[in-house]
Amino acid sequence: MPEAIKGRQHDRQATGPAAATLLEARNIAKCFSHPNGTVTPAIGDIALSLAKGEFVAIVGPSGCGKTTLLRCLCGLLKPDSGTLSYAGKPVSDVPEDVAVVFQEYNRSLFPWLSVRRNVEFGLNKLSKTERRARAEEALTRVHLTDVIEHYPWQLSGGMQQRVAIARAVATQPNLLLMDEPFASVDAQTRIRLETMTASISTELGLATLLITHDIDEAVFLADRVIVLSPRPSSVLAEVVVDIPRPRTELEVKAMPRFQEYRRLIHDLIVAKQSDTPDVVDTPAPDGTEPERSP
């Protein structure tokens, strides 16, 4: 089984028509230059694609430039090189129907707006009644209708992240990007939020890209897991998770297959980490490595 899933797989793209590709990144690279003149490469060379309605998780060791990658993928940050297209068009700024849930809810929800107005933030083009209806629908999805007039900072962390998810869902996006959305909440809340995210994504047919350092979370939620190397990151492998939906946390995590996926991804990350010291700028040559840009 590990043999079957190791390495780069493109089953989904191979089976689905090319038109179903929603987001495509080719040879994305990004460096950061510091005031003292040194240049830190954050993303080495990343190619990935996401089909409509697909749930993809990106995992990698901490500090491998996952957040930078997400900011590039949604148009918040311009990559140094490479091409990025969304729905067939090149990405210059954040596309209309892309929503993002950030890691730090207390820095992404607006503290001067009530929960309702936060959720309505992206709906400015609609009439007031439509905005209200959409916001209430989105807040119902995350079970938060009872705190609608509160300020976000009056809520617990898990509740705030649900508000952020509602804000994203309310815009009826085609693509939802999530940057370690559950990293700052406690374990039990985390499981609830993961299950909620899975069902929202399935119900709405949302293409979802989840960035995480948590392998269990990635395998539990995703159709496909993209494993990144340490910084400057590149794609080590793509693993297609063949576990039927709907998935329930306890059942899935007890499956032998879940354990195999988990082990496989873990080994990929750990092996890569142990043979590349932190300070090295270019990754060691590796059979599974995609071709690097000159």
Partner 1 sequence: MTMHETRKAPPKGVPFRPRGRSRVRGLTVVRAVAGMAVFALLLFAWELAGRHDTTGLLPPFSDVAAEMAAILTGERLTTDVLPSVLRALLGFALGSVIGMTAGVVLGWWRRLDPWLRPPVEFLRAVPTPALVPIAVVAFGAGNALRVWVIALGACWPVLLNTMDGLRRVEPGYIDSARVYTSGRTTAVLGRAALPAALPQITSGLRIGLALSLILMVISEMIASSSGLGYLILQSQRLYALTPMYAGVLILACTGWLLTLLFSAAERRALVWFEGMKGRNHA
Residue 231 near partner 1 by CB under 8 A: no
Return d(Cα 69, Cα 28) in angstroms, integer: 9
CB 194 within 8 A of CB 182: yes
**Tokens read off for 113:** 């707006």
Return d(Cα 198, Cα 191) in angstroms, integer: 11
Residue 204 near partner 1 by CB under 8 A: no
Binding map of partner 1 across residues 115-144, x = CB under 8 A, - = no contact:
------xx-x--------------------
Which of 41, 53, 157, 290 touches partner 1 by CB under 8 A?
157
**Could you say which residues in the range 253-272 bind partner 1, by CB under 8 A?**
none
Which of 6, 150, 213, 266 touches partner 1 by CB under 8 A?
150
Angle, CA 271 vertex, CA 247 and CA 7 arms, to 5°: 60
Applying CB under 8 A, the site for partner 1 has a residue count of 44
What is the side-by-side strand order in the sheet with 207-212?
89-90, 81-86, 21-33, 39-51, 233-240, 224-228, 55-59, 207-212, 175-179, 98-101
Of 42 and 100, which CB lies nearer to partner 1 in the complex structure? 100
Of 112 and 287, which CB lies nearer to partner 1 in the complex structure? 112
Of 10 and 143, which CB lies nearer to partner 1 in the complex structure? 143
Which of 20, 31, 87, 94 touches partner 1 by CB under 8 A?
94
Rounding to the nearest 10 degrees, give the CA dihedral for residues 257, 213, 10, 258. Answer: 0
Residue 184 near partner 1 by CB under 8 A: yes
Closest CA to 57 of 173, 162, 187, 197: 197
Residue 278 near partner 1 by CB under 8 A: no
**Residue 84 forms beta bridges with which residues?**
25
Which of 16, 132, 151, 199 touches partner 1 by CB under 8 A?
151
Which of 158, 240, 262, 290 touches partner 1 by CB under 8 A?
158
Closest CA to 117 of 128, 105, 101: 128
Residue 275 near partner 1 by CB under 8 A: no
Of 45 and 180, which CB lies nearer to partner 1 in the complex structure? 180
Longest CA pairwise span in the chain (Å): 58
Binding map of partner 1 across residues 48-87, x = CB under 8 A, - = no contact:
-----------------------x--xxx-----------
**Tokens read off for 162:** 């649900």
Which of 142, 175, 185, 239 touches partner 1 by CB under 8 A?
185
Of 130 and 186, which CB lies nearer to partner 1 in the complex structure? 186
Residue 20 near partner 1 by CB under 8 A: no
Q: What is the CA radius of gyration of the chain?
A: 19
**Tokens read off for 26:** 């080719």
Residue 89 near partner 1 by CB under 8 A: no
Length of the chain: 294
Residue 100 near partner 1 by CB under 8 A: yes
Closest CA to 157 of 186, 132, 130: 186
Binding interface with partner 1 (CB under 8 A): 71, 74-76, 93-96, 98-100, 102, 104, 106-114, 121-122, 124, 146-147, 149-151, 153-160, 167, 171, 184-186, 189
